[in-house]
Structure 1
Amino acid sequence: MTDRLTGDRYVNPYTDFGFKMLFGTEMNKELLISFVNSLFDGKEVIKDLTYLNTEQLGTAETDRKAVFDVYCENEKGEKILIEMQRGEQQFFKDRSVYYSTFPIREQGRKGEWNYELKAVYVIGILNFTFYDEDSDYFHHEVKLVDINTKEVFYDKLTFMYLEMPKFNKTENELKDMFDKWLFVLRNLSKLMSRPDALQERVFTKLFEAAEIAKFSKQQYDEYEESLKTYRDWQNTIETAKMKSREEGRAEGIEVGRAEGIEVGRVEGIETGRRLERIEMARKFKASGIPADIIAQNTGLSENEISEL
């Protein structure tokens, strides 16, 4: 059996349902442990994880349309926040740092406390890129570093980002568990059978859990709804960007030509860029996307958006 919406055999992990089912349930905790350990590459070995309530992170309801998260704690009390981010945000780095503060602050103790903290890891699986100039650099590990000495100043706060569109290894090029996990995340919904390169026991469990034919009626209905939301979101964003880019560019060129001088050309291009953002915001707004999400994607203020 395949999904009647797409013909897929396996669940799409870029949907809210797929991500939470594979990595956010107690019965599939082994998958999450294997994935996280593959990221640490032997530097940290996690034996067990405890799922924590994501409401502790204080995430806004609007984030749910673009970000799915799993929040957990290892046997040493270290906090691990894993996010699947399918939508690009203008202030992505700011948002990532902001949400890292919640696992830090919740460690505070009343009364006598020496401020010792457990490590916090923020893992971002990104369905977009933020460093276009280097197509091979997709795995980022970020810590607080002393600028002069280049030494790590504080080793208990780590950000790991995976720019998934840049991972293009084929099955024959997979070398280790890290490669294999990224291959699965990038290609799972496109596969019609389990690849020969993925013979580890953990992948046996993953492909069994991900097979749509084994879903209950309720699971299948929830997945269909999640898949529709994912596709609607992707189509809305891409269509609005494409149309506004074309319209803004054309209008900007016309303004530049009318001026006939270099200043006019520059102003025309700038005007075109602004018109492009405005047109994009109008389309987002007409599609029912919240003003704060529109602001993150266009650079306009929420006040400007409300007046459109």
Structure 2
Amino acid sequence: MALEDKYVNPFTDFGFKKLFGSEPNKDLLIDFLNEVVLPSRHKIADLSYAKNEHLGQKELDRKAIFDLYCVGTNGQRFIVEMQKAKQNYFKDRSVFYASFPIQEQAKRGDWDFKLAEIYTVGILDFVFTEDSDKKEVRHEVKLKDQNNRIFYEKLTFIYLEMPHFTKTEAELETAYDKWLYVLKHLPYLEKRPVALQEKIFTKLFEAAEIAKFSAAELAGYEASLKYYRDLKNVIDTAIAEGELRGKTVGHLEGLQEGLEQGLQEGLKKGIEQGIEQGIEQGIEKGIEKGIEKGIEQGMIESKKLIARSALAENMPIEIIMRLTGLSQEEIEALR
């Protein structure tokens, strides 16, 4: 596969970990966390990478694998993830992941239960459904009481909805703006923007330059990029197919229901005038109801389409379950 891009795509697993998950580039992650995650708090001076795979206390407990997991000098825990596509129960998963760095702080013997701060950071290549009509990029979530007062200060969830970040290079003012801009536009840039001349971005662009990759790194990136593009294509295709199927089913059901209701109305008001007026009103109401049913059926078919495409790409069943919300039995039946 020929790579025409100059810089690595940070939304691929390889690209994200190349820029933020290696010891030589640790200062990139520190600056990102200080400027984007902790802009109004005490900054971290250093951090160490921790094991990004956690197992439950019991054999049957589900395994949790984070993209990046690190610990600050004051004991703060940071889980940082790139999320490429929507999935069912994504927020539940964030809470589940946050439970591991909490539990690992437990000490044997006498312990006062004092915990270090936990930050779960999600860099999202999509927007939450409830935020589709809003333009907020950064969401900071804490536990609050009924009076909107913070109940617990040490557990924070931060989500960055990248599609909502629309600033141009000329509009970049803060380090926060610049970090979001470079994350969103890096794989599409041909040269380093004038607005990103700080030393930290000099290092980022050097680390991101594909031409400097070793043969092994290039092979790893190509595989990661292919997976990212295939996944994105599957999702885009499923959405388009779902919308088309929903419109088609809705149109046909709407026509049928509209004709039936139109005939009933027509009989009440007179054969000639009633049929004409009833069909018009019935079709309008029927199409609306039919589209609603069609969209629902379309979503079900879309999930199956995603699963079939993913099976064709030999993706693991566990990943397909997360992408579609289908059970293992339902996915196996599609083979």
TM-score by length of structure 2 reads 0.82
1:56 is displaced (CA, Å) by 2.1
CA distance in 1, matches of 2:331, 2:299: 10
SS in 2 for 1:95: helix
In the other structure, the counterpart of 1:171 is: 169
Go from structure 1 to structure 2 and tell me whether the alpha carbon gap of 1:26 and 1:129 turns closer, same or farther (over 3 Å shift): same
1:113 is displaced (CA, Å) by 1.1
Alignment of 1:4 with 2:2, yes or no, is: yes
Alignment of 1:118-197 (within 5 A): 118-130=116-128, 131-135=131-135, 137-148=136-147, 150-197=148-195
Alignment of 1:182-221 (within 5 A): 182-221=180-219
Alignment of 1:270-285 (within 5 A): 270-285=292-307
1:255 is displaced (CA, Å) by 1.6
Give the counterpart letter for 1:222 in structure 2.
Answer: G
In the other structure, the counterpart of 1:35 is: 32
Deviations 1:51-99 (A, max 9, x none): 01111277978x98xxx61100000111000010011112211111111
1:278 is displaced (CA, Å) by 2.6
Question: 1:281–1:294: 8 Å Cα contact kept in structure 2?
Answer: no
In the other structure, the counterpart of 2:256 is: 258
Give the counterpart letter for 2:22 in structure 1.
Answer: T
Alignment of 1:92-103 (within 5 A): 92-103=90-101
1:302 is displaced (CA, Å) by 5.1
Deviations 1:101-141 (A, max 9, x none): 11111111222111111110001100001111112x11111
Deviations 1:18-44 (A, max 9, x none): 000000000000000000000211412
Question: 1:277–1:298: 8 Å Cα contact kept in structure 2?
Answer: no
Question: 1:10–1:189: 8 Å Cα contact kept in structure 2?
Answer: yes
CA distance in 1, matches of 2:7, 2:326: 39
Go from structure 1 to structure 2 and tell me whether the alpha carbon gap of 1:89 and 1:49 turns closer, same or farther (over 3 Å shift): same
Give the counterpart letter for 2:302 in structure 1.
Answer: M
Give the counterpart letter for 1:141 in structure 2.
Answer: E
Alignment of 1:18 with 2:15, yes or no, is: yes
Give the counterpart letter for 1:81 in structure 2.
Answer: I
- Bigger Rg over Cα: 2
Go from structure 1 to structure 2 and tell me whether the alpha carbon gap of 1:73 and 1:213 turns closer, same or farther (over 3 Å shift): same
Question: 2:85–2:323: 8 Å Cα contact kept in structure 1?
Answer: no
Consecutive unaligned residues of structure 1, counting only runs of 5 or more, are none
CA distance in 2, matches of 1:281, 1:60: 24
Question: 2:71–2:77: 8 Å Cα contact kept in structure 1?
Answer: yes
Go from structure 1 to structure 2 and tell me whether the alpha carbon gap of 1:302 and 1:217 turns closer, same or farther (over 3 Å shift): closer
In the other structure, the counterpart of 2:230 is: 232
SS in 1 for 2:252: helix
Question: 2:242–2:295: 8 Å Cα contact kept in structure 1?
Answer: no
In the other structure, the counterpart of 2:242 is: 244
SS in 2 for 1:140: strand
Question: 2:5–2:187: 8 Å Cα contact kept in structure 1?
Answer: yes
> How many residues are paired up?
299
Give the counterpart letter for 2:13 in structure 1.
Answer: D
Give the counterpart letter for 2:133 in structure 1.
Answer: E
- Aligned-CA RMSD value: 2.4
CA distance in 1, matches of 2:316, 2:295: 22
TM-score by length of structure 1 reads 0.89
